[in-house]
Structure 1
């Protein structure tokens, strides 16, 4: 057993001592069938931003846009390469490329190995760095020994994004339209306001549902056309108040399987000030570290939200697997909604 104590409010061990899926375990075949039942018109919506958005690194200085390149071939680059260079009888023209991609630059999933916390799980009186279900930093989520940014062996041997990908991430989803009620004003949405919005729109979240929050943030990104204004983005659109204990308790009690938003971090970052030692990202700590709830960020929800708003609906079928990239702590995704 990796731990004797589990964090207060966590579900460590509830899905098994070696579980790496967390609340994805609630995405059962029944939830898939419930999602399929929401498909009435056969319309589909792409829920991904172009993966070169937001542009630049104003949102996060450590993440950069994709960089394309290709390899050499017969003294030329392997792009618009005419195969008659190899055989005069060939008529083919071939292009091949590669890309350096920051896995959490644009529309993305956070793996459960993305954010952990310091906690005394073995009862020795010393807090150690851990991830969901007690998997250990340095042992199960292996980092570099020095400052090289491309060392071999740096990967999550547990809680990697490939575990999420293997489930196919399909089922019923519910969209909560914060933009409809808050506009594009910067608003901290606590439990009371979220429940008021759900009541006004007749929204019910049931165990296993995937919850999407539409705020309009991704729309702003597209309007900025690859040149984001950091100050404007930081002061626009609704965000969840991760410091609100009632909101965190609702996330626990609702049984939602994943939590998704069209904004940068789902929650306000930086979070409201708090006294004493605490997480800088309290909702990330609650979801990724304590409950095993994957977070989706920077999704494009605008067209879907407009359709659901016009049709008086909130539920749809969502399919959103990440890349099946072993050991990654996050991944781009190109989600699809069907209605």
Structure 2
């Protein structure tokens, strides 16, 4: 199968206790509750077609070094890294010993990471209690299927905004600045980037650049003391836009994916992870991708 055939948002069947737009059960296979969610859109045909984007064979790292978030928020522990000298064991060698919270640097949110804050359920109806005592929906499910490989599209909103507003400081990365769908679409048009079902959406809002340039006290303010973050707007319009695109996964360069804090009536984390089973990548360092893309004739954002 190349593409899945999805109902229009308004034609989706009602799932008891869930908002209109829930996809539970749609991706179940042979009567077994699905645990991969939108990653099932990464069919062999979709992945094979992604190779057509390759022009130079250049590859870059998108992970941000683990030590960057010195002041984690939400009670999370910072990186603890020690080097063990194995000379005492009779070897000329060293080991690394590392302890950290995976949410404090580049990572994927699995479908087990975040549930509905109002109903206490996760993707496809698992309850908090059920997941606490099982390995269902864990991130190992993504690994077992062979990881996440496909056509990634970069929506470089920050560069678009600076192009449209020369000489003006962009919105603060540690404000709850909401990026509307109209600006995501404008960025795609500016880049000449088209979206396809099964793409991996990656939005650059500017958080990593801000953090890399900020002084320690300001970094602490932005990551631990307060929790205001720039990002795509939490709105019905964004929900419908994301659904219409049928991305296999989404990611960005911020803590989370959407503007934070979210309003009571809409949280993209819940729509993506809970309602559709769409993994979220966070705190990706996109600088090398941008640098590499600008050296290709015409630029490349996929």
| 2:253 match | 262
2:76 to 60, 63, 67: 63
Cα distance 1:41–1:226, how it changes in 2: closer, same or farther (>3 A)?
A: farther
Shift of 1:105: 1.0
1:9 to 21, 24, 27: 21
- DSSP 3-state at the match of 2:150: strand
Write out aligned runs for 1:128-277 (5 A): 128-139=119-130, 141-142=131-132, 156-167=134-145, 168-183=147-162, 184-186=170-172, 187-224=177-214, 229-231=219-221, 238-242=230-234, 244-271=235-262, 273-274=263-264
| 1:33 match | 48
| 1:73 match | none
TM-score for the superposition, normalised by structure 1: 0.72
Write out aligned runs for 1:45-124 (5 A): 45-57=60-72, 60-69=73-82, 79-84=85-90, 92-117=91-116
Shift of 1:192: 1.7
Unaligned stretches of 5+ residues in structure 2 = 1-14, 163-169
Shift of 1:94: 2.6
Give the whole-Å Cα distance in 1 for the aligned partners of 2:213 and 2:157: 19
Q: Alignment length, in residue pairs?
A: 270
Give the whole-Å Cα distance in 1 for the aligned partners of 2:269 and 2:228: 20
Shift of 1:235: 9.9
Alignment check: 8 A CA contact 1:262 1:298 kept = yes
Alignment check: 8 A CA contact 2:115 2:122 kept = yes
**Greater helix share, structure number:** 2
Deviations 1:296-322 (A, max 9, x none): 110000121233245334444xxxxxx
Give the whole-Å Cα distance in 2 for the aligned partners of 1:226 and 1:21: 39
Shift of 1:32: 1.9
2:57 to 42, 46, 59: 42
Name the larger-Rg structure: 1
Shift of 1:118: 5.6
**Greater strand share, structure number:** 1
Shift of 1:5: 5.7
Give the whole-Å Cα distance in 1 for the aligned partners of 2:71 and 2:237: 36
Shift of 1:37: 2.3
- DSSP 3-state at the match of 2:102: coil
Alignment check: 8 A CA contact 2:71 2:220 kept = no
Shift of 1:134: 0.6
Write out aligned runs for 1:310-329 (5 A): 310-311=295-296, 312-316=298-302
The higher relative CO (CA closer than 8 Å, separation ≥ 6) is in 1
Give the whole-Å Cα distance in 2 for the aligned partners of 1:205 and 1:10: 22
